Amino acid sequence: MYHTLAFEDASRAADFIAEITARPEHLPRPQCQSLQVFGILTHGSRADPRAQRHRFMLPTKPKRPITSNILKSLIDLFPDTIVELSLHFWNVLSLPKKVLETIGRLKNLRALRLGHELQERAQALRERDPMLFPFYHDSDDEEFHEEIRQHNQRIAFEGMLGHDNFDNERAPDDMNPVDSKIDHDCLKSLIKATRKLTSLNLTDLNPVCLATKPMKLELACHQFLAITQLEISLEGESAFRLLDLSIILKRTFKVLALHDHWGGWVDTHGAKLVPVFENLGENLEGLFITNKSFLSPIIKFKFPKLQVFKTVFWKGSIAEFLQNPILSSSPIEVLALQSEFIDTPKEQKFRVNPFANLPLLRRLILYEANPTYVLPPAYLHACKSQGAELIYIGHLDSSNVSLFMSL
């Protein structure tokens, strides 16, 4: 039984596949709950070996990219036990039909994470270096999508002829890396195929590469989607695409985690989030944000089911922050604050208990807390007066949205 398996090199993955498939039939089938596959290359130029290493690491032998056939074979090993699937791509996020069908057959898949390589591994991300980060050009390009369609069609035809050869398979290299994009049809097919999926994480897609046209799915598909939790990065001015998702997921949606690591997107485009929250607000139970500016355009919104709220920064004192209608009028039960940014009161005690505006508060979570961290006495007294339990969470679990929702 494997809890987690991670692959980033085709040679190692092929060896593992060969080892498992060669096992005698009388032995029990292997099991894996979480499968993580990095360095997937199904379209576009082979990854630059220099981009496969952190700039401070010693030179190492370049890894062979994972092909679609290898990915399919890895997933086929664990059709009944995979609960979490994480896929990270070089260049284009694109999968042929046979791989999409394989993922769709996973009986217990509940969490899907999709992303690109090198999201935060170098300063080039901030500089939008097109040689390393060719994902910002997100225009509607029919020629590109036709190229993707023909490429996947060739793969499907070769598969029917039995030409699935790990050693000879290679991605097409006739694509300009500056124009690398997302196969939008692939992403839509993934959402439709994984009907039992409850958590979708797109934070490592940069930008959120959904179609610039409205992302229309059949009405029947909406009725079968089960996604309740969405994690997404807003770098790349992607509110329009997020709005499409909010429409698609409105019926089942409960938890939204928004990331803006560099802090610039929300300051400029935060108002574009208003229709997203108008769509999701009625059923929203958990809201996770990394930038205080997320709240500015929706500060007076009222979310009747919002129980869990997590943030990093806030304006003014904690008491003033919790007086905002978005929080004071919501049934907040769990409040999560980053330990590093807790503001120590100027006096030994608060003049007013800051948590008095959250009458249903039962837990205060301090995340990214070091083992030696101690909450200021005024906060300890305020928690005790409110009857709220104090919970510390370390760096390792600070991004685990499901964990926060379970507390």
Q: Which of 189, 213, 237 is a domain's end point?
A: 213
Amino acid at 252: T
Cβ neighbours of residue 290 closer than 8 Å, sequence gap 6 or more: 258, 259, 260, 261, 311, 312
Do residues 56 and 164 share a domain?
A: yes
Position 348 in a domain:
yes
Segment 75-85 shows an average pLDDT of: 96
Portion of the chain with pLDDT greater than 70, in percent? 69
Find out whether 362 and 388 touch, Cβ atoms under 8 Å: yes
Structure letter (DSSP) for residue 182:
B
Residue 37 is predicted with a pLDDT of 96
**Cβ atoms within 10 Å, residue 309:** 23
- Tokens coding 342: 């807790």
HSE, side-chain direction, 13 A CA sphere, residue 226: 11
User: 173 pLDDT exceeds 60?
Assistant: no
- Of 183, 213, 243, which marks where a domain is finished? 213
Predicted local confidence at residue 261, as pLDDT: 64
355 vs 126, higher pLDDT: 355
As a whole number of angstroms, the longest Cα–Cα distance in the chain is 77
- Lookup result for tokens 């390393």: 132
Query: From CA 113, how far away is CA 231, in angstroms rounded?
Result: 9
Q: Where is pLDDT greater, at 236 or 111?
A: 111
Which residue type occupies 306? L
Residue 362 lies in a domain: yes
Q: Taking 60 as the threshold, does the pLDDT of residue 209 lie above it?
A: no
Q: How far is CA 98 from CA 85, 94, 356, in A?
A: 17, 12, 56
pTM summary value: 0.76
Domain boundary among 213, 241, 258: 213
Q: Is residue 40 part of a domain?
A: yes
Q: Residue 367: inside a domain, yes or no?
A: yes
* Tens-digit pLDDT profile for residues 105-132: 999 999 999 988 754 433 333 343 333 3
Question: Could you tell me which residues are beta bridge partners of residue 367?
Answer: 338, 393
* pLDDT at residue 191 tops 60: yes
pLDDT of residue 183: 67
| pLDDT of amino acid 360 | 96
* Cβ–Cβ < 8 Å for 142, 213: no
Residue 344: the pLDDT is: 66
Q: Are 168 and 40 contained in the same domain?
A: yes
* Digit-coded pLDDT (tens) for 12-59: 999 999 999 999 988 888 899 999 999 998 876 665 555 544 443 444
Provide the Cα torsion 79, 84, 88, 93; round to 10°.
70
317 or 114, higher pLDDT:
114
CATH number reported for the structural domain that contains residue 367 in this entry: 3.40.50
Q: Is residue 244 part of a domain?
A: no
Between 340 and 363, the more confident residue is: 363
Q: Are residues 17 and 125 in the same domain?
A: yes
User: Domain total for the chain?
Assistant: 2
- Where in the sequence is the domain holding 315, given as residue range(s)? 299-407
